[in-house]
Amino acid sequence: MSAMRVLMFGWEFPPYNQGGLGTACEGLVKGLTTQGTDVTLVLPRHQECVIPGCRIISPQFKKIMVSSLLHGYATSEAYDAMWADKGKPSLYGRNLFAEVHRYAAAAQDVVAEEDFDVIHAHDWLTYKAGLAAKKMSGKPLVVHVHATEFDRTGDGAVNQYVYEIEREGMQGADKVITVSEFTKRKVMEQYGVPAAKIEVVHNAVAFNSHDFRDAIALQKQAPLVLFLGRLTLQKGPDYFIQAAKKVLEYAPHVSFAIAGSGDMQGRLMNQVAAWDLSDKISFTGFLRGAAVDRMYQMADLYVMPSVSEPFGITPLEAMRNDVPVLISHQSGVSEVVNHALKINFWDVNDMAAKILAVLEHDVLHSELKRNGKKEVYTFNWNEPARKCMGVYWNVMAGYV
């Protein structure tokens, strides 16, 4: 039997990723290729990063770089401003939604050149490309929901245009993959997708940490509590600094680090300065590669206080690096991780109390660390890949 051929549409991929979706896409592609699936990955890339029409082939999988200006985490307004600052000609479409349509048009050229059995599209920016590929090829489409507009906005003030694209993609797909039961419920309630059409495939983590522990041990002076993620409403960094303030009132020797960037960064820095805590709560900016592992390994506790987190790979990354984790119940990862402390994102008193408990009780800290490290090794990308392959075979059977 010949290998299954998957045409996959993504919008970020390491090392050019801004968030967890690129990490998840990389892990899934590697898991699929390890199990013998032939993946052709189509990626939009900024014009200055790629020659139009450039085609890169690797022994494991193919990456076709489509010339596009898609930027996954920008709002439409921020996207316009970003490219206006760069002086990009209107030919390339400064409007984010124009880029979505442009990417979909490019998908048709890819479909004309490629042989494949099934189409897999990641998140709303690629759904129109996936739908276009399905219409042109007659092949089944699977859409992968890593986050919804309701997650990104947090307060329910959704962008109607984004919502309509998401709904169109989910309704037009043959199968919908969600990264958690948490997200499956949201897709059913907000987008009208029946339960039978949705398959839950939890994310995993890669085991490729760098080890900086010896060097860090020589520099370590005080306990460190870490937040690592995009500084946006969805991720709850404002709740993190509120809890940090409460902890510091009781334990002023503790330090806090906020690693990441996003639209809330200025507001958070101003609040920390207004509280006169700039010497206790530091901002590292966006980190990638080995710097991420080093940051985890410096921490005594990792906190993910997300307001609405479809999954959340960062706690698994922390556990991989021997760090205890405290996560919100409002996350998909909380469904599958047992050796972690859990809180409601809005309960900053509980968050502060549990931070102090981990820092002050050595037995609790060591047990979370030991059992978390043991548990995280059950989360490898071969299992999500196996489940996705099952989804592929299922939808292909319906097209025979």
At 255-278, the pLDDT tens digits run 999 999 998 999 999 999 999 999
Residue 48 has pLDDT above 50, yes or no: no
Residue 194, pLDDT > 90, answer yes
Task: Say what the pLDDT of residue 62 is.
Answer: 59
* Rounded Cα gap, residues 372 and 325, in angstroms: 8
* Rounded average pLDDT over 148-155: 83
Is the bond into 15 cis (omega within 30 degrees of 0)? yes
Question: Is pLDDT of 36 > 80?
Answer: yes
Longest dimension (CA), the chain: 66
pLDDT band at 45 (very low <50, low <70, confident <90, very high): low
- The model's pLDDT over 307-343, given as tens digits with 9 standing for 90+, comes to 999 999 999 999 999 999 999 999 999 999 999 999 9
For the cut 80, the answer to whether the pLDDT of residue 294 exceeds it is yes
Tell me: pLDDT of 33 over 70. Answer: yes
pLDDT value, residue 64: 63
Q: Do domains 5-204+380-397 and 213-376 have the same CATH topology?
A: yes
Q: What is the pTM of this model?
A: 0.85
- One-letter-per-residue 3-state SS of the chain: CCCCEEEEECCCCCCCCCCHHHHHHHHHHHHHHHCCCEEEEEEEECHHHCCCCCEEECCCCEEEEEECCCCCCCCHHHHHHHHHHCCCCHHHCCCHHHHHHHHHHHHHHHHHHCCCCEEEEECHHHHHHHHHHHHHHCCCEEEEECCCHHHHHCCCCCCHHHHHHHHHHHHHCCEEEECCHHHHHHHHHHHCCCHHHEEECCCCCCCCCCCCHHHHHHHCCCCEEEEECCCCHHHCHHHHHHHHHHHHHHCCCCEEEEECCCCCHHHHHHHHHHCCCCCCEEEEECCCCHHHHHHHHHCCEEEECCCCECCCCHHHHHHHCCCCEEEECCECHHHCCCCCEEECCCCHHHHHHHHHHHHHCHHHHHHHHHHHHHHHCCCCCHHHHHHHHHHHHHHHHCCC
Look up residue 302 and give its amino acid.
Answer: Y
Residues 52-100: pLDDT tens digits? 222 332 323 556 666 554 555 555 455 445 444 444 433 223 567 777 8
**Residue 188: is its pLDDT beyond 90?**
yes
What pLDDT does 269 receive? 97
Is the CA virtual torsion 129, 103, 260, 305 positive or negative? negative
Alpha carbon distance 304, 240 (integer Å): 8
Q: Where are the domains of the chain?
A: 5-204+380-397, 213-376
Residue range 30-48: average pLDDT? 77
Contact 340, 302 (CB under 8 A): no
Q: β-strand 62-67 against 55-57: which pairing, if any?
A: antiparallel
Q: For tokens 């450039």, what's the residue?
A: 54
Q: What pLDDT, on the 0 to 100 scale, is given for residue 30?
A: 87
CA dist 389 and 84 (Å) reads 42
CB distance 309 to 347 below 8 Å: no
Determine the average pLDDT of the residues in 294-314: 95
What's the fold here for domain 5-204+380-397? Rossmann fold (3.40.50)
Is residue 94 a contact partner of residue 79, using CB atoms and an 8 Å limit? yes
- Between CA 251 and CA 231 the distance in angstroms is 25
pLDDT level of residue 215 (50, 70, 90 thresholds): low
Give the per-residue pLDDT at 267: 96
Q: In terms of Cα–Cα distance, which of 168, 150, 147, 179 is closest to 100?
A: 168
Average pLDDT, the chain: 85
d(CA 283, CA 37): 41
Question: What pLDDT was estimated at residue 356?
Answer: 98
State yes or no: pLDDT of 171 exceeds 80.
yes
Higher pLDDT, 43 or 93: 43
213-376: CATH class: alpha beta
User: What pLDDT sits at residue 196?
Assistant: 96
For residue 289, what pLDDT is reported? 82
